Amino acid sequence: MRRVMLTAGALTLLVSAAWGQGGEVITVTTSADDVDFAGAQQVGDLPGPDGKVSLTEAALASDNTPGVQTIGFAVPQAEWEYQWLFPGRVVFRPFLGFRSFDTAIIDGMTQTAFTGDTNPDGAEVVIWAATYLVDNVGSVVRGLDNAQLSISGGSANTVQGNTESGIEVYASTGCLIGGTNPGEGNTGGTIKIDRASHNTIVGNTIQRVRILGWVDGGQPAVGNRVGGPTPEERNFITGYGTWNSEGAPGGMTVQIFDSVGTIIEGNWIGTTPDGMEQGHLASTAGVGFEGENHDAVIRNNRIAGILGHGQGPHYAGYLFGSAITLGGEGANFTIQGNTIGLNALGEPVLGSLTGISTADYYLGPVGGIVIGGAGPGEGNEIAGHRFNGITVVSPLTGIRISGNSIHDNDDLGIDLVDPGFHYGVTANDQLDLDAGGNGLQNYPVVTLAEATGSSVHLVGALDSSPDGSFTIEFFASAACDGTGFGEGEEFLGAASVSTDGQGHGAFDVTLPAAIPGGWYATATATREATWDTSEFGPCAPIAGGGCAADFNGDGQVNTIDVLAFLNAWSGGDPRGDFNGDGSINTLDVLAFLNAWSAGC
């Protein structure tokens, strides 16, 4: 057997060679699990005395024959059994499972070409037994239905176009699960990467993805990627979970355990593929970290619909779940550009209990977490949750929360929890000596906020630890939270503040932003030495606003303002509530047009 490490380019050349330069085709012609030859039979020895080729015979001949063989299928429908269970599919039941020990292309789509699309909901070939690719290099498996496929060892294998299948990659590297071209994605089922590295999962519509390593055994899962920056690489991961005997739901849709350098990018996680409904009623974590993880990136995903619904006998009516759960230990997580709790139309109607939650861990907390960022596209939008937008529990610290749009959550936008697990607004303390989530970092207080056309002027103070350097971030919201603190719907900008020996620092800044009348300002503080970000400070009404009809804040009143307002109004943007009565309707259009025609 060959032992060769292949790059993605080499894999393409290998598959092309199999199809176009002498790769032999073995056609399976019977569903019976018969082997009527002995010894090292090769492709040229097929068929055996019975005149037919079984799946097991095809695998043996492929392993014994040099080169890359294609195992195709052309089984007459007269031989299709188990139609009561798998209607419209040919079913194989190899006694010891199906095993391939050398590079091959297993192509169930050839059966579809032979008998037609007899299973409109999936592929036409079922291997009703465990299917193993052992130490394969550059093999391809496609067109199977309800398979339990395990790739063990080897490298650069490809799994595409399978339906309702469980796909496992164990101790293998450089594998491609799915693809970016039509028909290459796997549909239904689950994917597990187990102690395997540098594998790519793209273009699939599945229920769950697990990235699992074993740090204590020296086998972390390293450099695996789920999704990517283009729409074609997006996975639709609809949700996974079960209910226990008490009726409590539980299940992670994307589970990350003992990993290094995992990238989760551009996926839709927790919703139906159209992004409009919850995908599974038992899923309680959209992306969940456990064990020891380092250098993870969660970027530009839509994570929504993660809300486990309890059932009887004891949990009927109870709800559970967080879109992202940060547990275990490790360091250096980046969570940027995600929409969390919003449907495909941007409506905050698919929230969890908490958007992003943290969990204490007895081996030591995870640290070095960045949620958002001040750069373009780095902030997350976190909205529509039944509890907090972000919860940081004690004793976790070093969680930098920056540049996000956090709004329409039922409780706080950011909640730092004390060691006694008391939730809600935490009052500032003198010299900031208390402890808890993010050290219970004190929040800043905005005492003056006034808008003038295309800018906003903000004045206030931060009282925290002495002689410290802090970044104050400013936000505006259409409404103040019911507590009077935050949230932060629109990020305005930031300023640096240093405290004196008594822990006092002041700010007086003007930021470029066009803020409609009736909005509120608030701010957070991040201690630069520790990366601890505070809760949102108290709301301050934004006075002024200049000419109300200058909707885009460019200092002019013209037709561009009309278009900007109508876009906001038709899109349900809170700024479309021009008259501030709490609803967006035709009265706002009339109010804006009156202001615009009056030139004020």
pLDDT top residue among 338 and 546? 338
Q: Quick check: helix, strand or coil at residue 202?
A: strand
Q: What confidence score (pLDDT) does residue 381 get?
A: 98
Per CATH, domain 451-544 is 2.60.40? yes
pLDDT at residue 87 greater than cutoff 60: yes
Q: What confidence score (pLDDT) does residue 586 get?
A: 84
**496 and 470 in contact (C-beta within 8 Å)?**
yes
Percent share of the chain, pLDDT over 90: 78
Angle of the 586-598 helix axis to the 559-570 helix axis, nearest 10:
170
Q: Quick check: helix, strand or coil at residue 319?
A: strand
Q: What confidence score (pLDDT) does residue 361 get?
A: 66
pLDDT at residue 277 greater than cutoff 70: yes
Q: Quick check: helix, strand or coil at residue 110?
A: helix
Among 8-22, 219-233, 417-431, 450-464, name the one with the lowest average pLDDT: 8-22
pLDDT band at 560 (very low <50, low <70, confident <90, very high): confident
- Report the distance separating Cα 139 and Cα 157, nearest Å: 5
Q: What confidence score (pLDDT) does residue 2 get?
A: 30
Q: How many helices (H) and strands (E) does the chain have?
A: 5, 48
Q: Quick check: helix, strand or coil at residue 63?
A: helix
Give residue for tokens 């269970």. Answer: 85
Q: How wide is the angle at C-alpha 118 spanned by C-alphas 113 and 123, nearest 5°?
A: 70
Q: What confidence score (pLDDT) does residue 578 get?
A: 67
- Report the distance separating Cα 580 and Cα 600, nearest Å: 17
Percent share of the chain, pLDDT over 70: 92
Among 38-47, 273-282, 344-353, 429-438, name the one with the lowest average pLDDT: 38-47
Q: What is the mean pLDDT of the chain?
A: 91
User: Could you tell me which of 524, 545, 544, 520 has the C-alpha nearest to residue 533?
Assistant: 524
Cis peptide before 249 (omega within 30 of 0): no
**298 and 364 in contact (C-beta within 8 Å)?**
no
Compute how many other C-beta atoms are within 10 angstroms of the C-beta atom of residue 232.
15
What are 567's strand-pairing partners?
A: none
Q: Give every CB contact of residue 315 below 8 A, 6+ residues apart in sequence.
A: 246, 247, 248, 249
- Cα distances (angstroms) measured from residue 174 to each of 42, 85, 163: 29, 35, 22
136-185 per-position pLDDT tens digit: 999 999 999 999 999 999 999 999 999 999 999 999 999 999 999 999 99
Structural domain spans, the chain: 1-200, 207-387, 451-544, 559-598
- Report the distance separating Cα 192 and Cα 201, nearest Å: 10
Q: What confidence score (pLDDT) does residue 467 get?
A: 97
- Report the distance separating Cα 215 and Cα 229, nearest Å: 29
Summarize the confidence of residues 255-280 as an average pLDDT: 98
pLDDT at residue 492 greater than cutoff 80: yes
- Report the distance separating Cα 18 and Cα 72, nearest Å: 13
pLDDT at residue 195 greater than cutoff 60: yes
Q: Give every CB contact of residue 559 below 8 A, 6+ residues apart in sequence.
A: none
Q: What confidence score (pLDDT) does residue 14 get?
A: 34
Summarize the confidence of residues 299-326 as an average pLDDT: 96
Q: What confidence score (pLDDT) does residue 548 get?
A: 65
pLDDT at residue 362 greater than cutoff 70: no
Summarize the confidence of residues 9-29 as an average pLDDT: 54
Q: What confidence score (pLDDT) does residue 3 get?
A: 30
- Report the distance separating Cα 334 and Cα 315, nearest Å: 34
User: Could you tell me which of 59, 294, 6 has the C-alpha nearest to residue 176?
Assistant: 6
Q: Quick check: helix, strand or coil at residue 194?
A: strand
286-307 per-position pLDDT tens digit: 999 999 999 999 999 999 999 9
pLDDT band at 574 (very low <50, low <70, confident <90, very high): low
- For the chain, the first-to-last Cα distance in angstroms comes to 80
pTM (2 decimals)? 0.87
Amino acid at 54: S
**Which DSSP string corresponds to 477-545?**
ESS--TTSB--BSEEEEEEEEE--TTSEEEEEEEEE----TT-EEEEEEEETTTTEE----B-EE-EE-
CA dihedral (421, 439, 521, 447) in degrees, to 10, reads: 110
pLDDT top residue among 11 and 107? 107
Q: Where are the beta strands (DSSP E) in 125-206?
A: 125-127, 130-134, 140-142, 144-145, 148-152, 158-160, 163-170, 176-178, 187-194, 200-202, 205-206
pLDDT at residue 1 greater than cutoff 50: no
Give residue for tokens 């629109």. Answer: 490
- Report the distance separating Cα 146 and Cα 93, nearest Å: 12
- Report the distance separating Cα 426 and Cα 429, nearest Å: 9
Q: What confidence score (pLDDT) does residue 8 get?
A: 37
pLDDT band at 486 (very low <50, low <70, confident <90, very high): confident
88-145 per-position pLDDT tens digit: 999 999 988 899 999 999 999 999 999 999 999 999 999 999 999 999 999 999 999 9
Alpha carbon 197 to its chain centroid, in Å, reads 19
Q: What confidence score (pLDDT) does residue 592 get?
A: 77
Q: What confidence score (pLDDT) does residue 102 get?
A: 92
- Report the distance separating Cα 226 and Cα 209, nearest Å: 8
- Report the distance separating Cα 359 and Cα 353, nearest Å: 14
User: Could you tell me which of 157, 160, 161 has the C-alpha nearest to residue 171?
Assistant: 157
**204 and 187 in contact (C-beta within 8 Å)?**
yes
pLDDT at residue 12 greater than cutoff 80: no
**247 and 310 in contact (C-beta within 8 Å)?**
yes
pLDDT top residue among 48 and 282? 282
What are 462's strand-pairing partners?
A: 505
H helix or E strand, kind and range, residue 471: strand 469-477
Q: What confidence score (pLDDT) does residue 9 get?
A: 37
pLDDT band at 436 (very low <50, low <70, confident <90, very high): very high
